[in-house]
Structure 1
Amino acid sequence: MFDSPLSASAYEVLQVAADVSDDDLRRAYRLRLRQTHPDTGGDAALFVQVQRAWERIGTSEARAAYDRGHGFAADAAQYAPEPSDAGGTGWRPRARATDTRPRARSFGQPGGWRRERYLTLMREWVGRGAELPDPYDPALVRSAPRELKRLLADALAEEATARIVADLGMGYTVWHDIAADPRDATLTLDHIVLGPSGLYAVLSGDFGGPVRLRRSELIGEGVAGSPIADLAAAARVVARGARVKFSGAIVVLPDDDVAAAVEEIGRVRGLAVAVIARSTLSTVLRRGLSGARDIGGNELFDIRTRLQQSVRFL
């Protein structure tokens, strides 16, 4: 919340301009609390957003830091990709200087095709021949059409998942940005994760705000289509092509956008599915989903070989 290219800014949640005075900001906060309080007919999710917006900009120090990081000040932070010290064809996040542990095996470029598409569309939107010194400047991103912001938000979400999975260790293998069926551009998987706890299809989502579940599908203001059904369908196509069986599917969302840290929703198209907060991803992948069968020894090696031979990247 507030950090996503898709989400409303703290100022927008409080319905004030970015240059509002401190006194007017405080008055706006109190008004929004009354308007959104559940006891007076307001929306509970929006009520929480109002409180978190105030936490971000309610004091001079917090407001200055927020402005720097979200494009309301001159030295704003960036949405640009982090530098990598990887070698070869696999993706790796930048290693910490004090961390010498082996990383998970990684193949593909998380968020890569979305960033490439974002850059192409951003240049077209700004205008051919127009100067574009920084396509990731937060102020520019905030003013861009939603289609562009969604591409960037999804790329950032995939990269966040990739960093977490990389730290699981050498017992895990992960493939990023998979074309489930090269003939159908709509069938894709953000990640496939193979480890001792099972084989999982993973969707890294960011819809710019809170989501909830209804009839085994995600709903919310920013949700379009049927993300869970599409994830299960893509996993089935990959499973048939590689002659493997997925243990389950996992939807990873920003912590602030889910009501429960881990919510296992049963089976969708025969596949166990869970919707989880990003901070729990490492724990869930180490533990596995309920009822999922552990994979080890020669079987793990065999599944990895089959996927290596069949996976095609976007």
Structure 2
Amino acid sequence: MFDSPLSASAYDVLGVEPTVDDDGLRKAYRLRLRQTHPDTGGDAAVFIQVQRAWELVGTEEARAAYDRGHGFADAFAPMSSTAGSSSGWRAPSTHADTRPRARSYGQPGGWRRERYLVLIREWAGRGVTLEDPYDPAVVRSAPHHLRRLLADALAEEATARIVADLGMGYTVWHDVAAGGRSGDPESKLDHIVLGPSGLYGVLSEDFGGPVRLRRGEIIGDGVPGSPIADLLGRMRVIARAAGVRFSGALVVLPDDDVMTSIDELGKVRGIPVVIVARSALSTVLRRGASGARAIGGNEVFDVRTRLQQAVRFV
């Protein structure tokens, strides 16, 4: 919850300054519990946030660790690519990981990472050197559109790691151009995932707070536009260009921002749509979405070839 560039800090949730003493922090926590408790008319989601905030700063040891911060630096180390091999990202490891990985093409979150670094330095001002552009204090003080760039990049990278762990039976393309101007991330498809359970268009998002559903669309305080409609539109562009049929559409969100880990909406514009908590993504991709068409045998190779020939990256 509090490791998102868009989320409020634990101190913000408790309504205090980071410099508050331990006694003041404890009083603020008790007050916020009373204010947000569902039995007294409070919001259940906010009540959970208050409890989580206390877990992070409620003890001397926890508070010290939280104040040091972990930053928002690279969650993944770039993999070098060679001709004919897949390219992408992998989590840094202290030992060699010999497990079979999914085939991965493109750079998840790459465009937004690069754009964030350019704009955060412009925002800091000429002549100012940012020692760490991912420092939590720097990120949280930045304008919302910059924090949104970084949050989206982190969300895409998290999805990439999950898909990579599914194994060699899966292929994933990241940051796929889906119409519009070249290099325009607003007209891209975050991920295309091909596996035995089907072919899926995937949107990785972090809106910075809980979301709701209304008439087949995601709504919430931090939700711009129509995410599901936009996702389906981009999938249609890719489907026409490659001559393939998508089995379903997945919207992947942070666990804390959804009420249920797997929320199947049924078919929207003829495509099964699922809202998925990040921790449940591998489950959905392995078993498939309800009503989605599985892909097997030679069809997997045919679809992969068609996509390889048609996919372009932002």
Cα offsets for 1:59-82 (capped at 9, x unmatched): 11111111122xxxxxx4343353
Q: TM-score, normalised by structure 1?
A: 0.94
Alignment pair present for 1:77 and 2:74: no
Which structure 1 segments of 5+ residues have no match? 70-75
In the TM superposition, what is the alpha-carbon distance from 1:136 to its structure 2 partner? 1.3
- Look up the match of 1:172: 170
Give the Cα–Cα distance (whole angstroms) in 2 for the partners of residues 81 and 59 of structure 1: 27
Partner of 1:12, secondary structure, is helix
Q: Are residue 90 (structure 1) and residue 87 (structure 2) matched? A: yes
Query: Is the aligned partner of 1:121 residue 2:119?
Result: yes
Distance 1:168 1:223, change over 3 A: same
Q: Percent identity?
A: 71
Deviation string, structure 1 residues 88-126 (Cα, Å, up to 9, x no partner): 361130464253121100000000000111111111111
1:132 is displaced (CA, Å) by: 2.1
Partner of 1:286: 286
**Pairwise CA distance, 1:220:** 1.2
Question: Secondary structure in 2 aligned to 1:203?
Answer: strand
CA RMSD of aligned residues (A): 1.5
Measure how far apart 1:215 and its partner are: 1.1
Q: 2: distance between equivalents of 1:18 and 1:213?
A: 34
Query: SS of the residue aligned with 2:132?
Result: coil
1:49 is matched with 49
Corresponding residue number in structure 2 for 1:272: 272
The answer to which of 86-95 and 278-287 deviates more is 86-95
Letter in structure 1 aligned against 2:45: A
2:91 and 2:265 map into 1 onto residues whose CA distance is: 35
Report the AA paired with residue 292 of structure 1: A
Match of 1:229, as an amino acid? Answer: A
In structure 1, how many angstroms separate the alpha carbons of the residues matched to 2:312 and 2:218? 27
Distance in 1 separating the partners of 2:73 and 2:268 = 34
Partner of 1:73: none
**Greater CA drift, 130-139 or 251-260:** 130-139
What TM-score, normalized to structure 2?
0.94
Contact 2:106 2:313 in 1 (8 A): yes
Indicate conservation of the 8 Å contact 1:86/1:94, yes or no.
Answer: no
1:311–1:85 CA distance, 2 compared to 1 (3 A): closer
Q: Distance in 2 between matches of 1:182 and 1:166?
A: 28
Which ranges of structure 2 fall in alignment gaps of 5 or more residues? none
Number of the residue aligned with 1:307: 307
8 Å CA contact retained: 1:85, 1:95: no
Alpha-carbon distance between aligned partners in 1 of 2:188 and 2:71, rounded to the nearest angstrom: 30
Give runs of ≥4 in structure 1 deviating > 2 Å.
76-89, 94-99, 182-187
Q: Which amino acid is 1:62 matched to?
A: A
